[in-house]
Every structure is written in C-alpha cells, then in structure tokens.
Structure 1
Amino acid sequence: MQITGAVALVTGANRGLGREFARQLVERGATVYATARRPETIDLEGVVPLRLDITDAAQVRAVAERAGDVTLLVNNAGISTGADLVTGELELAHREMDTHFWGTAAMLRAFAPVLGRNGGGAAVNVLSALSWFSVRGAGAYHAAKAAEWALTNSARLELADQGTLVTAVHLGAADTDITRDFDGPKISPREVADAVFDGVEADATEVLVDPWSDLVKATLSDSPTERDARIAAALAG
C-alpha cells in the first residue's frame, strides 16, 4: 500500500488526530476526502470536505457513493464520554458503542466493496491502549474500543481475500482536545500519523504507536489482578 497516489477518506477530520491524518495524507501525495459532522469546520487546504456522522446510516451510504474511488479508509471518528459501565449513565455507554463499534462497522461494511473494486487498498481503525484495559471513568470507552478491536480482527480475516489490508492502531494519549484534562505524557498528532502511515506502507496489521501501548499489550498474558496492578503502578509512576 502506497500513500502517494492513494485516494483516502478520513473520518472526524475537523480536529485532533483526524485533522493531522488528513493534513499528512495531503503532504504525502494522496487525494483526501475529509469528513466531519459539520464539514464547514474543516480548515485544511487541498481536501474535499464531506458531511458525515458515522452513526447516521443514510449519511454513510451517501458518502460511500460519493467517494467511490477510495483506496484508503481511515476510521478515526470517536468520542469520550467519561462514563463508567455499572454506575454511569447507560445512554452515554450506548453513545460510545454506537460511535466506536457500530459506526466503524457501518463504514467498513459500506467501503469494503469500494476498496475491493479499487484493488484492495487498506482500512485503518484508530483504536487505543484502552482497548486492552480499563480505568475508572473510562469503562464505556474501554468496552467500545475493545469491541472495535474485535471488529478489526474480524474485518482483517473477512477482507483478506479481496486484498484489503486492515490495520489496528493502538496508542496511549495524544495531545488533542479529547485528552485536554489528562495530566500524563502525551505524544503529538504528527508522531501518531507518522507511525500509522509508515505502518500502512509496510503492510502492518497492527501499529503500536507509543511505549505505553507496548507495555499494556505485554500485560495481556497476565491474570486480571496482575494486569491491573502493573498498569496501576505504571500510571502512578
């Protein structure tokens, strides 16, 4: 998969990681559809802005018809409600799942035929180290990202026969609006985009953007108690 000459579509491209993904894709020589619920908020030059709420089935269908030449799909759009699963507001948990899981699933279902017709291409799902662990105040986000990780694994197998690369991206905290209240270390959106697109060009099925993601993945073979303790110690340290 080569970025130069690709036709890319980025969801949630009006700010944060999505904006940087779209900006760098243009810089690397791709044609870019930049989508957002309010496309008038997209301030990048050299992109084609499109209206898209990934939880709106009609809008997903319309964008897939409009952008029928896409060879690289970047599923970036997301939310963070700060809700817990047992004691938090259930409506917020539904919003997280509707966005990260069902919204991403809708995009993959709509664009899989597009990618197949255009030679296979690639789909990138922006996940999180929180796909693999939880903390208080992030239960809904963790569950939705864990479900999106499972979706990514299934899509990779389902789309292999048509030659579509499916890449899972895991990272800790990037310096964006969604993490403005987080006091821990953050990486720049540019670093994330560099790692993601270098990984896509290397046909990577998984990109671990930062040391935090490496650490969390290494705990997956631990017992839940051991994993919680290791992660708590890392967060405190």
Structure 2
Amino acid sequence: MIKRILIPVLLCTVLINNVTKVRAQVFKVESFDGTRGEIKVKPIDSHGILKILYLKDAINMGDVNYVKSAKQLNKHFIKVVYAVRAGVGMELLHTLVLSIDTKKMYQSMHITSFFEENFIDFSKPVDTANMVDVHSIYNVNLTFLDNGHQGGKVKIKIHDERSSKHNTGDDFKRDTALVLNFDVNRHIFYDSLKSVSRNFTVYNAKTRNESRKYISGTYPSMRFGRNVYYFIKGEWYERDNYGNLSGVIYK
C-alpha cells in the first residue's frame, strides 16, 4: 500500500518540476525613446525551435539543443545564449542580444560565441590513450558597458586556438580584443560599414535550403577573429571563408 501511494507522489513531483523548467522567461525592457515592453523567451518546442516574442513581433531559431542562459543586461538589452546542434565531438553556442523600439524587436547582435571540436581520425588506428587528433576551440567573451540613452559599448575578447597531434605546423593560438559602439538609429552593435557586391550561397534557416544570391550594398559589419557578420535587411548573417552566408533567425 505504501508503494502505491509513493508512486503517484513521485510522478506528481516530476511533473511539477518539468512544468517549472518549461515556463517562458519574461523580461521587462525599455527602448531608447522611452517605450516599455516585455520580451518573452519561450521554451524550446519538440522540434528544437526556440521562439522569442515582443508584442506581435516574433523570431525563431531552429536546431536548438538547450538555452544555456537568458538574462537582462540592463534596462535596454537582454542576452540569450543557446546551444545549436552540431556534429559528433562538437559544441556550438550562439549569443543573441535583443532590444526594442516602439512595436519592433531588434537583433542588436547575433554571433557564434563558442565552438569546440575534438576531432578523432577513424581512418587511422585510434590511440585509446589520447584519442583526439585535432582540438579546436573558439570563445568570445562579451562585457557590456552601460551609457544611458546612447546604448553603451561592448568590450569583446576572442580566443581562437587549434592544436594537432600530428600536424603541429598548423597549430595556432590567437587572442583578439575590440570595442563596439551601439548605433541607436540602427539598434545594433557593429564596427564598420562594408561595401558588398558578389554572389553568395545563402542558407535559409526557415526552409533549411541553400540558394545562390547576388548581394549588393553597404552593410553594417562585425569581424570577430575568423568570423565575419553582415547586417542585411534587419538580420545578422555569418560569412565563412568559402563565400557562404548563414542566416540563423527566421520569422
């Protein structure tokens, strides 16, 4: 009889804990013109989609494993760090900084903030005492400095490292630092304006398809070590060394 009573109690406890874990997080924010509102970070759904809402404005990120943290930086910004599905032996984190103005939510910054890979070459005999052939790590540390109505600045420290068991000539360790100002008109952090006129292979996060597009114009840009970002039509895109642009957010 005791066992029959305990089982429902335990199940109830588990259900309560699960409900607590999946509740949306709500953050009160203020725009630079004095508008006040709430940004809601919803739980990841069963398809791995993370949805964030402000009034009728909503953005989605797919292939999300978990939200590492969601917190308020100051009265103007919130920061969401989330893990994206990657390959075997890899860990990938994105950092998204959001702000509002009137009835719109802005992606003030959206970057790859952490990447780690432990590559094991299974085409060769595996050394069980030291299985990893190549270890790569890329980490971005952000420190936000408040400056009232001007939006403030963000100090950025980037660590990029690669170490190989066999090809040590390709090893490197780089540390970079920079400071970005906030543009209150565009509602974004960036370091320069770049003139772009070329074909790109563009990844669409909503359709999960790639297409060739000719992109021409002058766009806000950020360079974080090896990673370059363009702000095109209200979205941040990450450019790789092969001429590909990846859009992570869709509506």
Same fold by TM-score greater than 0.5: no
Q: TM-score, normalised by structure 1?
A: 0.27
Q: Which of 1 and 2 has greater Rg?
A: 2
Structure having the higher helix fraction is: 1
Q: TM-score, normalised by structure 2?
A: 0.26
Structure having the higher strand fraction is: 2
